[in-house]
Each structure stands twice: as C-alpha cells, then as structure tokens.
Amino acid sequence: MLDPAVVLFANDAFYLAFNARDFEAMDNLWARETPAVCVHPGWNPLLDRDEIMESWRAIFSNGDSQPGIRFHGGTVVQQGGNYSVIGYEELSGAWLVVTNCFAVEDGAPRMFHHQASHCAEPPQLGPEAPASVQ
Amino acid sequence: MLDPAVVLFANDAFYLAFNARDFEAMDNLWARETPAVCVHPGWNPLLDRDEIMESWRAIFSNGDSQPGIRFHGGTVVQQGGNYSVIGYEELSGAWLVVTNCFAVEDGAPRMFHHQASHCAEPPQLGPEAPASVQ
C-alpha cells in the first residue's frame, strides 16, 4: 500500500513533465508491466505503451499545441491494488475532468491510465483547495 | 481472475440497464466495496456511491435527456486485480470514448469507474468489430 501523498507526488510529476515537455520524465512515469490506456481530449483511445509515448513525443514537439496546464483538487481513491487521482485540468481557461490511475511497480506508483473529459461547469474549488484522500 | 467475456457481459449489462432505465439493475452493477467514481459527459466527477446512484435515478426519470445509447468495440484490459473496458458510446449520432472499470466482488465484476469523453473523430470500426481482449 502506498501513502496517498506518494500517489499525489507522482501525479504532480506527470504535470511537471507535461509542462516541461520532458519526454524522458514522462516515459519514466508510465507503467511498464500494467497495460496502459491514454485518452487525450478528443482523441481515440491509445492502448499501447509505445503508441502512448509516441503521442507525448508528438505533443511535446508541437510548440503551438500545448499551452500550460494546471492540475487542481486531486482526490486519491484506492481501488484494489491501484490508485486513481480524480481532479481537474485547467488549460487556456477551459476545464477538464481528469482521471489518472497508478499501479505499484517496483514499489513506486506508475501511471497506467489517463483520461481527460470536457467539464461544462467550472469546479467549485476554494482558493487553496487541498488535495484530499478517500 | 475473470474470463474477459464475463467482464464484457457485465459491461453489456450496464448498457442494458442504461437503455431500459432499470435503476435496480444499475444499482446491482455498481461496486459496494471498491470506492466508485462516475464522470457523466460534461459533469463534475461523482465520488460517492449514493451520489452516483442518485444521478442515475435523475437521468432515468428525465424522459427527454436520455436517448438510446450503443456501445461499440470493447477492449478488456486487466490492470492488477481490476479490469477496464475501453470502447465507444454512440448516442444521437455523437461518439464518446468510454472507460468502464470493474473490480471483482464476491466473484463477480462490479463497476467502480465510468467516464465518457468527447471523441472528435468517429472510430474506425468494422461492421461487426468483435470485442477484443488485451
């Protein structure tokens, strides 16, 4: 079992890698043993690790397509031996609901699922809404 | 470990319950031990089983808000002790990418995660694209 703070740290590392366009950090974050799924907003789902990494490489190499992204309000949910972080992504004034799932590989959380979906209503978050654990 | 066909059967049961507006069937489908998450299209995420069930009751009682929904192209992915079904929902000519996750409770698959997100490109599905297992 992982401390939820460790899961949130991995979730933060995902957004740091995203904003820094750091392909190596992103590659290290994703699970290698657990089958991975990635659903970028509007995309068809990617169900192959190599394909997912190729998508990040393409996103990172397209300077115009990636505004800064901010993560808000993460709740960690333990589901069996895996962990989901449910929260919001804010980019260019738009809000998405996001699910980031982590498996434990070699004792550390590794992302195996990422799906962001349109959110019609901006979330009700306080100015410093703390991450919570369920 | 479950046979992937059993997971797909539970996934089909979800859409049958949805289209039949069968609240009891929907309630039976959802996990009771595993913390549940439901992200209806455009909604903020629901992280409480009672709240999720209340949302289904509201959706089912609103005759205008629920056109028939069809599920296509399910791929079953085993992730630790849990299973994800990744596929597409078609409703009113629009396409969504959907993730339905199942935990094993009392030997049977029970849904603990549902998230549907906008899909900009209709999927490339054959006329009888079979469900696949990964």
Q: Which CATH architecture has domain B4-133?
A: Roll (3.10)
* Alpha-carbon span B93 to B97, nearest angstrom: 13
Q: What is the pTM of this model?
A: 0.91
Query: Is B120 near chain A, with CB under 8 Å?
Result: yes
Of B44, B86, B103, the CB nearest to A119: B44
Best B33, B44, B71, B132 member to test A by mutation, with max A CBs in 10 Å, is B44
CB-based contact, A19 to chain B, within 8 Å: no
Interface test mutation site (partner A, options B97, B100, B114, B134, max chain A beta carbons within 10 A): B97
CB contact under 8 A, B97 and A43: yes
For B27-73, the pLDDT digits (tens) are 999 999 999 999 998 899 999 999 999 999 999 998 665 668 999 99
- In what helix (H) or strand (E) does residue A51 lie, and over which residues does it extend? helix A49-61
The 10s digit of each residue's pLDDT in A21-40 is 999 999 999 999 999 999 99
Residues 6+ apart with CB under 8 A from A35: A47, A112, B77, B78, B79, B134
Is A32 in the B-facing interface, judged by CB distances under 8 Å?
no
B74-91 per-position pLDDT tens digit: 999 999 999 999 999 998
* Cβ–Cβ below 8 Å for B118 and A35: no
Residue among A37, A41, A84 minimizing CB distance to B86: A37
Does residue A128 carry a pLDDT above 90? no
Domain residue limits, chain A: 4-133
Assigned token pair, A49: 């690790």
Cβ contact A103:B81 at 8 Å: no
**Among A102, A114, A30, A47, which residue's Cα sits nearest to residue B134?**
A47
Judged against a pLDDT cut of 70, whether residue A117 lies above it is answered with yes
> What value of ipTM does the predicted structure carry?
0.90
Helix (H, G, I), strand (E, B) or coil at A119: strand
A121: chain B residues, CB-CB within 8 Å: 42-44
B113/A41 CB distance under 8 A: no
Q: Does A65 touch chain B (CB under 8 A)?
A: no
